A and B are shown apart, each in its own frame.
Chain A
Amino acid sequence: MTTTTATSRTAPVTTDTLLDFRNVAMQFPNGTVALSGIDLTVKRGEFVTVVGPSGCGKSTLLRIASGLENASEGTAALGTKRIGYVFQDATLLPWRTVQANVELLAELNKQPRKSRAAKAKEAIELVGLSGFEDNLPKQLSGGMRMRTSLARSLTLDPELFLFDEPFGALDEITRERLGDELLRIFTEQRFAGLFITHSVAEAVYLSTRVVVMSGRPGHIVDEFEVPFDYPRDPDIRFTPEFAALSGKVSHALREGHS
């Protein structure tokens, strides 16, 4: 396991705990305190969503988890090196085809050409982009770009998947459809997910647990277990239980906001 902070090293987390935040705080060099007192664990098989108002430090949380940023206080421990990170924009390289974009991470990890091509093909199939391997990003819709980005992360077989509002820029229909695709992949592969979103419905629908944050500095105000099983029927969104839980999350969000 790796620790991503310089402050201290915790005892090794159990292999099933893939992310362990203990009392994490983040103060940027310019003085902005983005996070304070964050305690959060994500175990294998869990899909945790984080909802919170804009600017409350959600991206910062993910950046610390991925090692892009070091926490200024507390410890952030990872139980795996295989991390997938899906950015808010698709972050495709415009000069590469879908196939070559999906191969990129494996290529950067110096995997042999043959195996990474096969791996990419598989991932492209998984996200439903077969037939578009030779398209360039500019020839894709926003949703297809996001699928490509998802496929790219999948090639690393991540055990911990970090999503920073990946569907934020998409329209409602595409968003729901991609959510379903993601759930299907999650049901098959059971990685651990940490998913950031603005949408309460998306959070409840996708996850095993919803974490509500508020600013500033960003801290966790509440957590809700989501009792629904996988695979999930899209229609659970219209059940009273779903509505009740969404109501509670919304309420917590508003409380934290004021």
Chain B
Amino acid sequence: MSTETSTGTDTGSGTTPAVATAAAATVPVTRSAAARSGSVAKLWGPPLVVFAVIVAAWIALAAILDASPPHVLLPSPLRIVVDSFSTETLDGQPNQPITGELLNAIALTMQVALSGLAISIVVGIVWAILMSQARWVERSLFPYAVILQCVPILALVPLIGNTIDYGIEARILVCVLISLFPMVSNTLFGLQSVERSQRELFKLQKASRWTVLTKLQLPNALPAIFAGMRISAGLAIVGAIVGDFFFRRGQPGLGILISNYQSRLQTPELFAAVIVAALLGVLIFLIFGWISKLAVGRWYEPAS
């Protein structure tokens, strides 16, 4: 038999060699891939330009606002780097570099954030699966997810510290409380957004609940789950920093460092710590975007 030639489907540029017979028009077209490879500059160019502008403005502002010691207002990028990581400040004073304590703090913060995130992912997915199984379960459990989202977690932080001490567990708990909701709501949305006809396809074969969950609902929910992970990951970093910023006890994570530098008026170091914290957030966001692409990018087409 023959293949259709005009099916009204977007067939793209047709640069791919034909796979079978005269089917060139409907062969998987790699237009997006071609566009991707040709546009690295297009993709990274504009944000890099903006970055350069910001740094330039920063240098200019620092030169005006912060020309003389004690450099507590707005240190220039160069001063931030030198005063934080070198044994001599930009002004030639002997200096204690913060490299070691910063690395330790990053390690601790990441440990807390990733533990919290892992717990949120597992708990969130299980919670959502439970709710997807019966209306009454959803009605019983969803309000608590919403409460979690509505309660200002920051207000709970001192309470948590008081109750279960200021150790790593308390910080992880803060992380979980902050990052759980997106996992619950996204997973639930993904599980419930299965098309009716797909559900009926399974129903006609008398598929069990378990089969429907594993072969239909969960795969269908994957894109939403990964989107949730991306949001939760960022929140987990926030949680880890905020947690120890408030606790101000125990081993110093980034939050404690920030708080210390602030109270000691070590502005360049403060900036360095804050920038590192921001980079961690961005990094984890990118990593989860990348994981998501690996996992579902193959088949998932976001509606655009």
| A contact set with B: CB distance below 8 Å | 66-68, 83, 85, 87-89, 91, 93-96, 104-105, 107-109, 128, 130-132, 135-144, 170-171, 173-174, 177, 181
Contact of A131 among B2, B19, B301 (CB under 8 A): B19
Given A132-B20, A171-B8, A95:B200 Cβ within 8 A:
no
Give Cα A88 to B211, complex, Å. 24
Please name the residue on chain B nearest to A156 by beta carbon.
Answer: B205
Kindly list chain B residues whose C-beta atoms are within 8 Å of the C-beta of A66.
Answer: 204
Q: B204 contacts A83, CB within 8 Å?
A: yes
Please name the residue on chain A nearest to B203 by beta carbon.
Answer: A68
Q: Any chain A CB within 8 A of the CB of B21? A: yes
Q: B7 contacts A108, CB within 8 Å?
A: no
Q: A109 contacts B205, CB within 8 Å?
A: yes
Q: A108 contacts B205, CB within 8 Å?
A: yes
Q: B26 contacts A87, CB within 8 Å?
A: no
Kindly list chain A residues whose C-beta atoms are within 8 Å of the C-beta of B163.
Answer: none
Given A135-B28, A141-B26, A68:B204 Cβ within 8 A:
yes
Give Cα A109 to B298, complex, Å. 27
Q: Any chain A CB within 8 A of the CB of B37? A: no
> For this complex, into which size category does the number of interface residues on chain B fall?
35 or more
Given A95-B299, A141-B7, A130:B20 Cβ within 8 A:
yes
Q: Could you list 6 A-B pairs, sorted by A, with CB under 8 Å?
A: A93-B216, A96-B299, A137-B299, A138-B301, A173-B4, A173-B5
Q: How far is the CB of B219 from chain A (nearest CB, A)?
A: 5
Kindly list chain A residues whose C-beta atoms are within 8 Å of the C-beta of B1.
Answer: 128, 181
Given A68-B204, A109-B205, A143-B7, A89:B197 Cβ within 8 A:
yes
Q: Of B200, B202, B219, which is in contact with the most chain A CB atoms at under 10 Å from its CB?
A: B200
Q: How far is the CB of B29 from chain A (nearest CB, A)?
A: 8
Kindly list chain B residues whose C-beta atoms are within 8 Å of the C-beta of A139.
Answer: 27-29
Kindly list chain B residues whose C-beta atoms are within 8 Å of the C-beta of A88.
Answer: 197
Given A128-B2, A128-B3, A108:B9 Cβ within 8 A:
no
Please name the residue on chain B nearest to A125 by beta carbon.
Answer: B1
Q: A93 contacts B198, CB within 8 Å?
A: yes
Chain B 183-205, CB within 8 Å of chain A: the 1/0 string?
00000000000010110111111
Q: Any chain A CB within 8 A of the CB of B52? A: no
